[in-house]
Amino acid sequence: SVVTAFMETFTIQTVPYYTHESKEFMYTVGSLFYGWYFYVAFPMFYLIDENPKQLWTVCQTAMNCLASCMIVLIFLDLTRIILIAFGITVQSTTPFL
């Protein structure tokens, strides 16, 4: 998951529409934040898609997708709080880091 997140982060580094105050911070902490989406999504997709004998209704699929989104938001917020507690931040003008 982190490798996938890092590779996606690495490939957008040359896009002129993105600016970053610290490339190293973007690669390390940014990949960790982005990796949370994959940590939660990969098992979710496996659960929904891999067993053809168990049919999922649209309601079950939507509920599980919404639950995974909430889990990701909780993990992102906890990661942000932990990073701030340990003083792992980049000098930034954004108020939430």
Secondary structure of 53-87 as H, E, C letters = CCCCCHHHHHHHHHHHHHHHHHHHHHHHHHHHHCC
User: Over the stretch 3-44, which tens digit does the pLDDT of each residue have?
Assistant: 887 888 788 877 888 777 777 888 888 888 888 988 898 888
Query: For residues 81 and 63, what is the distance between their CA atoms, to the nearest angstrom?
Result: 27
Whether the pLDDT of residue 91 is over 70: the answer is: no
Nearest to 44 by CA among 62, 68, 71, 70: 68
Q: Is the pTM of this model over 0.75?
A: no
State the pLDDT at residue 46.
Answer: 87
Query: For residues 89 and 21, what is the distance between their CA atoms, to the nearest angstrom?
Result: 11
